[in-house]
Amino acid sequence: MQLVLEAIVDRLIEKVDEWTLSTCFFSDAPGVGPAPPGDLFCTVSPGESVFSDLFAGGGIETLHERGSVVVSVFSRLQLDGDGRAQARWFDARRGLLSRYKPRVLKALLVDWEPQSAGQRLLRDPLYPVASSAPERMTDGDVSFVRLSLTFGMSFDWTL
């Protein structure tokens, strides 16, 4: 699981020019946590999962898990008047829906699978599961809007 999450963060940093290790990072949950400086950042968090098949015997025991990972994009930008979100969502350079959602989807779904040392980490490529409704959050005096994208994954634990 750790290698999968690391591969996802690395891929997002590679494909979204504005993100670095300080603006795209792991989080316990898709909440704000300690917000980095800057107006836009993302977090990668493990999501819900279920276990299915246990394969025991033959010297290698494996357990199949169908899990998820949540990529959350946060914006501190207040480009519109109170209660309005036209620019926050659709600005060509900084819009969460027009710029960042498609970039995250493309980075994780097109021509890529998580790998480590040339070995595939998942049974199948990541697949899109859900996109959250926008959520307003605060961290002290700072206000954020969060958009979360959930991706499904299928992998085996070697026990």
pTM: 0.89
Residue 94 CA to residue 100 CA, distance in Å, equals 8
If one counts the domains in the chain, the total is: 1
Q: What are the DSSP calls for 79-100, one per residue?
A: -SSTT--HHHHH-TTT-IIIII
Give me the pLDDT at residue 80, please: 61
Helix axes 2-15, 101-109, angle to 10 degrees: 120
Which pair of structure tokens corresponds to residue 36?
């980095």
Highest mean pLDDT among 26-40, 73-87, 131-145 belongs to 131-145
Read off the CATH number of the domain in which 139 is found. Answer: 3.30.2000.10
β-pairing, 127-131 vs 119-120, is: unpaired
Range of the domain at 74: 2-158
Give me the pLDDT at residue 102, please: 95
The mean pLDDT value of the chain amounts to 88
